[in-house]
Amino acid sequence: MEKILTKKSFPAWVKKLQSYTVYAPEKQENLWSYEVIQNPDKLNLEHLNTVQAPKKITFPQREVFLQFNTSKEGKPQIKEVLPKEQPTVIFGVRPCDAKAITLTDKVFGEEPKDPYYWSRRNQTTLVGLTCNTPPSDNCFCLSVGGSPHAKEGLDILMTDMDDKYHLDSLSKKGEKLIKAAENLFKPVSPKEKKELEKIHRESEKKIKREVKDIKNIPDKLKNMFNSPFWDEEAMSCIRCGICTYLCPTCYCFDITDELTSTLPLNGKRVRTWDTCQFPDFTMHSSGHNPRPDKASRLRQRILHKFQYHVENYQDYLCTGCGRCISLCPMGIDIIEILNKVRDHE
Amino acid sequence: MVNLEEIKKEAKKILEEGKVKYIIGYAKSSNILMAAPVFIKKPEDVNKLIWNPTCFQNLVKFLLDEKRKKAREKEPDTRPVGIFVKGCDSRAINVLLQEKFITREDVYIMGISCEDLGVLDEKKIFKKLKDEKPEKIEFDQGKNIVISTKEKTIKIPLKEILAERCLECTSSFPVISDVFWGDRNNRSPKEPFKSLEQIESLSQEKKWDFWQQQLSKCIRCYACRSVCPMCYCDECVVDSINLAVTADTSAEEKAQKIKWIEKSPESSENFGYHLVRAMHLAGRCIDCSECERVCPVDIPLRLLNKKLEKVAKELFDYKAGLDPEQPSLVSSFKDEDPEDFIR
């Protein structure tokens, strides 16, 4: 279902969605961030890449699995904590970030399905926005099978057409959102349809960065596990978690018990993000770590995204958002690494 | 003015002579507003070297990796590592020498004076550009930066977009070096602690609110710790590897190891992490402000360290990193040290 919505009517539509928690990108000082929108009149969808992907909403950095309490008689009580079922809409989702959510859907959708992830995910409607101009200098979605107007994972794709938005509703969740304020939408004229196609075509031409012949990379990587290449590339890495925590596709996590008291034993079992870049990642209880240095950690990041995930799910674990490049304090650039891998003898 | 060709010539010479193992310097990165560290082993690669106000990084951090690497090698190459340092970076070397983390023979220090400039603050540039993307930059006689975007070309005096720390810097030239470029003029900024004024003027409650709000943004990526040349603990308080495990360590011992700070990015845990780090940097931080630059969520971390620097200056007339022989702030005392904080 395709519709036209004037920009003036956009806040009115959002106001009709009272039963949802509404997130959209908001500029806070210098940075764009997905925040709960209190005042729809202030909404504008002119954001550059947000620092954190909407992953922070669908797969939060911390969530409680269960609570444990010990009564005076010493009898332990364990109570599972599932996320509150709250319908949520996220506006302004970039196609790369939506694609990323479909990748984590596959991982958390394998049996046994992850109830914590899905109780949140099933309630989430993703309203995307075409990137008429790339929201980052380091966008390379075209190289990894995406596009600035890709629909994968989205419930609605909006495209900015000057004083109006074109809306393409792609799922039942999307239709439901439009039905909430049906009288605000107009049908699409043939002229508008043509204009839309032009915007979409042009948007692809504006992506400047690319990884050529990316198809050869997974095979190439198979023979590079022991290459000194990783030592060289990791020289300038400082082992922080920026590249992985800000990545829309990285999904590694840790589970720990956080105690509020030891006697009696009370606390919570929580899941938090984890990253292959940290020293305790894959640390064995013996104290041995199969990934002892930064070269093996950088290699893990690249191999997971471009070899292991391809073997397991037939897709790259990267959607070309460019965050890891833009925010690496040392200028490590995954596009340059991949190009070097491709040309590696 | 510092001449890049002279720098390259010296780098080439010491590599050809085999005087150093390799050189840590700056090269271009794919981000035109930021240089990237480069590790040069072959004399012919010295042409990669650059020197300009985008050379933000404090390369001294990489000496920590070098030390650990050397410790693992059976027959390590004992030659020094060549390293380019700015004024602030050189003070970091002094602190590492003072703390005996490295020895003077480990490094061949190639000092470059920032003269009357320093490094840029990317955020200040983006503000001037109003979200337009820079496509080309040039430095015009060390006075201005000329930035071209798709729409326009603008010329900005470098002084308007220098990092705060450079505006408050009192010694913009390396205080320790084996070879040196540029001038040795001391600077005397009128207000060396100006960036603290606003926060100091707030009431205790307001300060608390400010830090609550700022530290709640933390995502615990630890980039601030990872980039800090003073953060060299083998076992950081936030990592759950801080238990010496032997074949005899029981499951109970492993399970009951103390966790000082939980992994959850909750307010209390974030405070724990950042305050422990700040206190560990008292009398050691040399104000390279890399922690603040790299923070992806823009927490003004420099304020914490700058405040401690000010306290050390006012109470003990102490400044970190000026001399490798000076006693460290927290492990020494003088008769005239104030003690009115003891109650």
**With a cut of 70, which residues of chain A have pLDDT below it?**
74
pLDDT-based confidence at B193, cuts 50/70/90? very high
- Using an 8 Å CB-CB cutoff, list chain B residues near A333: 29-30
What is the predicted pLDDT for the residue at B343? Answer: 67
A31/B297 Cβ within 8 A: yes
Q: Which helix (H) or strand (E) holds A64?
A: strand A62-70
Residues 6+ apart with CB under 8 A from A314: none
Same domain, A162 and A238: no
DSSP B140: E
Structure confidence at residue A286 (pLDDT): 75
d(C-alpha A178, C-alpha A189), whole Å? 18
pLDDT, average across residues B52-70: 95
> Residue A263, Cα to own-chain centre: how many angstroms?
40
Average pLDDT over every residue of B137-149? 89
Q: pLDDT value at position B245? A: 65
The predicted structure's pLDDT at residue B127: 87
Same domain? For A12 and A158 the reply is yes
Which pLDDT score, from 0 to 100, does residue A85 have?
A: 84
pLDDT of B254 reads 67
Residue B301 contacts residue B291 (beta carbons within 8 Å): yes
Instruction: Report residue B186's pLDDT band, with 50, 70 and 90 as the boundaries.
Output: confident
pLDDT tens profile A55-69: 999 999 999 999 999
> Structural domain of residue B147, as residue ranges?
122-161
User: Residue B126 domain-assigned?
Assistant: yes
- Count of domains for chain A: 2
Say yes or no: B18 and B94 in one domain. yes
Residues A124 and A223 in one domain: no
Residues B45 and B175 occupy one common structural domain: yes
Q: Is B269 exposed, middle or buried (0-12, 13-18, 19+ CB in 10 A)?
A: buried
**Residue of chain B whose Cα is closest to the Cα of A283:** B241
Please compute the mean of the pLDDT values over residues B310-319 and round it to a whole number: 94
Strand arrangement, sheet containing B23-28: B35-40, B23-28, B81-85, B107-112, B179-181
Does the CB of B274 have a partner CB in chain A at under 8 Å?
no
pTM over 0.90: yes
Mutation target to probe the B interface, by most B beta carbons within 10 A, among A27, A138, A236, A296 is: A236
Give the best residue of B56, B216, B226 to mutate against chain A (max A CB count within 10 A): B226
Residue B79 in this model has a pLDDT that exceeds 70 = yes
A267: Cβ contacts below 8 Å, ≥ 6 apart: A67, A68, A257, A258, A259, A260, A261
Q: Is the pLDDT of residue B251 over 80?
A: no
Confidence of residue B308 (pLDDT cuts 50, 70, 90): very high
What is the predicted pLDDT for the residue at B72?
Answer: 87
Average pLDDT over chain B reads 92
Across the interface, of B39, B61, B262, the residue whose CB is closest to A238 is B61
Q: Of B35, B244, B265, which has the smallest distance from its Cβ to A61's Cβ?
A: B265
User: A330 and B266 in contact by Cβ < 8 A?
Assistant: no
Q: What is the pLDDT of residue B243?
A: 61
Q: Same domain, yes or no, for A165 and A218? A: no
Q: How confident is the model at residue B255 (pLDDT cuts 50, 70, 90)?
A: low
One domain for residues B127 and B110:
no
Q: What is the pLDDT of residues B87-130, one digit of tens each?
A: 999 999 999 999 999 999 999 999 999 998 999 999 999 888 88
Interval B227-244: pLDDT, tens: 999 999 888 888 866 566
- Whether B338 is covered by a domain: the verdict is no
Same domain membership, residue A223 and residue A90: no
Has residue B335 been placed in a domain?
no
Per-residue model confidence (pLDDT) at position A185: 97
Is the domain of B114 the same as that of B225?
no
Domain shared by A194 and A238, yes or no: no
CA distances, B161 to each of B53, B56, B120, B128, B212 (Å)? 10, 13, 6, 9, 29
Q: Which residue of A has its CA nearest to B64?
A: A238
CA–CA separation, A146 and B254 (whole Å): 45
The Cβ of residue B266 has, within 10 Å, a number of other Cβ atoms equal to: 18
Contact A256 B262 (CB under 8 A): yes
Does B341 fall in a domain?
A: no
Per the structure, the complete domain to which residue A229 belongs is given by 214-342
Q: Which of B39, B226, B240 sits opposite A240 (nearest CB)?
A: B226
Specify the number of domains making up chain B: 3
Q: What is the pLDDT of residue B145?
A: 93
Asked whether residue B276 carries a pLDDT value surpassing 80, the answer given is: yes
Q: What is the pLDDT of residue A259?
A: 87
- B265:A240 CB<8 A: no
